[in-house]
Amino acid sequence: MKRRRDRRGLSDRLRDAYFASPVHAWRLSGPVPDGLAVSVDDAWAGDPDLGRELLEGTYAAAGVALQVGADPWDQTGYSDKALDVLHRFEWLRDLRDLGGDAARRRARDLVGGWIDRYPNWDRVIWRPDLLAARIAAWIHTFGFFADSADDEFRRRVLESLIRQYRHLTRSVENGPGGVGRLKTIRGALIAAVALGADSDAVQTLVDRLDATVRAQVLPDGGHRSRSPAMQAEALAALVDARAALRAAGRESTAALDEVIQRMTGVLRMLRHGDGGLALFNGATEGQVWRLDTLIARTETKTRAVTSAAEAGFERLVAGRAVTILDTGAPVTTDDTAHAGTLSLEFSVGKERLVVNCGAAPTDPRWHSVLRASAAHSGLVIDDTNSSELRPDGSLGRRPGQIRLERWEADGSVWVEAEHDGYRESHSIVHRRRLFLAAGGDDLRGEDVVNYTGGPGARPVEAAIRFHLHPRVSASLIQNGASVLLRMPSGAGWRLRATGGRLAVNESVYFGEGGHLQRTRQVVITVPLEELRDLGSVSIKWALRREDRRPA
């Protein structure tokens, strides 16, 4: 199978040489239990349709159809992401929820084939996060595929589980960081509880979880990645870890309950009225049913927060309208972070109107394009990113100072934010003011470009972009003085601007499952040749509900 490029240091290579040795294989051996000590329930639903496809020999993973034939573990030519999906075994849920003897036999064949192929450590297949997901999946579906099997099959599964768990406890810290680390500890906790580990072993994992949470979760409950998708995944890992502790008869700590509560408030903040996620920093809309299940499992009635200063988001709500504004700088350690500072999204009820372009996790050709400032509903100077995206995926120049103010009165909301991401490149500071009127039928904005002086390039043009959801139509009216936007429900909105020229251009949308959809964008173009003489340029725009069709 395809291997990742080896960029490991000497200590990593020495550690892997030990893991591949007969000594390590011997140390993974030991007593095998007769069954699971504790049943850890799986609260996540599978997809019976995907289970049916798997029964027929294919499985959709990372944008490709994997051929899961007689020997699915002899795979070549697939991407690392596709193989990760296959080896995580989370698709066992799909077979479980399909149900029936055929699905049960298929699950046994696939699990048994994997055990035959990978009885010992493998650098990729036994990677900690992958291994933790696989162990948890086997435990969660053990009753489905193993309880009614013969004694020899159950013994083989339990022996493999024990060996994988023993290795995982020695390598938790060697896997990926970020949310991957949380997921790894979550899987290790599920295994420790189900396999009857002693209280000291469980407590060690709880301590690791607490330390990882402190490192990754901000004081306001936002995840350090600033990604709505990572917010949901991190919260799901914590909810699963709490469920495992409860299955062991241990009450979850007050600290874990409190962080779940804070994270839930931020997750709710980052959802639109249709239940899906806002498209910031690598997120797509996500699966609404899964998000609903996650919120229910948090067991908290915490409402959506409106301001999360550390996470860098503001939520403006009036009537049925929701505006979500990115007020943070992208995270330097995350190569999925987007240059979208001060970009916004706007929805009314269950319909999205103004969006960002999203992310295409299964199509690397779009990766750098969708991270760019121009793929966001914000202001762009001379088609230059507000944060520098280097060719290797890392970040260079980015906003160093972000100022934020917020006011609310009589049902209306004002937010003013400013960033200096263009100071180094163009000697510019960008300030965005938003006002959402009570009732939600009037969103007004002002984008101010201030010249700060300095050696930056002379700016030529600013473009304020409003990417539209694919189900929104757009028409220039009044000789180009405004744009009429029509939503699927028939509701109309009119966008006007002063200080710039309006145009309707082509755009793309990757919000629904990361798949390409063609759409439109409204662009306000503003000349900046005289900015150094003027000191500042202001562009005002308004998006108002249009109850009647124009004559």
Compute how many other C-beta atoms are within 10 angstroms of the C-beta atom of residue 94: 22
Compute how many other C-beta atoms are within 10 angstroms of the C-beta atom of residue 536: 12
Q: Which CATH class is domain 312-546?
A: mainly beta
Q: What is the pLDDT of residue 155?
A: 95
Q: Where are the domains of the chain?
A: 1-175, 312-546
Query: How many Å apart are CA 536 and CA 262, to the nearest integer?
Result: 40
The per-residue DSSP string of 209-270 comes to HHHHHHHHB-TTS-BTT--HHHHHHHHHHHHHHHHHHHHTTPPPPHHHHHHHHHHHHHHHHT
What sign does the CA torsion over 467, 472, 476, 478 have?
negative
Q: What is the pLDDT of residue 75?
A: 66
The per-residue DSSP string of 9-58 comes to -HHHHHHHHHHTSHHHHHHT-----SS-SS---------HHHHHHHHHTE
Q: Cβ neighbours of residue 196 under 8 Å, at least 6 residues apart? A: 33, 37, 38
Characterize 340-353 residue by residue with b for buried, 16 or more Cβ atoms within 10 angstroms of its Cβ, and e for exposed.
Answer: bbbbbbbbbbebbb
Query: How many Å apart are CA 256 and CA 325, to the nearest integer?
Result: 28
Contact (Cβ atoms closer than 8 angstroms) between residue 323 and residue 346:
yes
By CB atoms closer than 10 A (0-12, 13-18, 19+), residue 230 is buried
Query: How many Å apart are CA 439 and CA 432, to the nearest integer?
Result: 22
Query: How many Å apart are CA 71 and CA 57, to the nearest integer?
Result: 11
The angle at the Cα of 525, spanning 524 to 528, to the nearest 5 degrees, equals: 135
Q: Find how far residue 314's CA is from the centre of its chain.
A: 18
Query: How many Å apart are CA 203 and CA 252, to the nearest integer?
Result: 11
pLDDT in 10s for each residue of the chain, 551 residues: 444 445 556 777 887 887 878 887 888 888 888 899 999 989 899 999 999 999 988 888 767 778 777 667 876 667 788 888 899 999 999 999 999 999 999 999 999 999 999 988 888 889 999 999 999 999 999 999 998 899 999 999 999 999 999 999 988 888 888 999 999 999 999 999 999 999 999 999 999 999 999 999 999 999 999 999 999 999 999 999 999 999 998 876 778 999 999 999 999 999 999 999 999 999 999 999 999 999 999 999 999 999 999 999 999 999 999 999 999 999 877 677 899 999 999 999 999 999 999 999 888 889 999 999 999 999 999 999 999 998 888 888 999 989 999 999 999 999 999 999 999 999 999 999 999 999 999 999 999 999 998 888 899 999 999 999 999 999 999 988 899 999 999 999 999 999 899 999 999 999 998 889 999 999 999 999 988 989 999 999 999 998 755 44
**Helix axes of 179-194 and 199-216: crossing angle, nearest 10 degrees:** 160
Contact (Cβ atoms closer than 8 angstroms) between residue 541 and residue 464:
yes
Which amino acid would we find at residue 440?
A: G
Cα 107 to Cα 138, 142, 392: the distances in Å are 10, 10, 40
Phi, psi of 86 (to 5 degrees): -65, -45
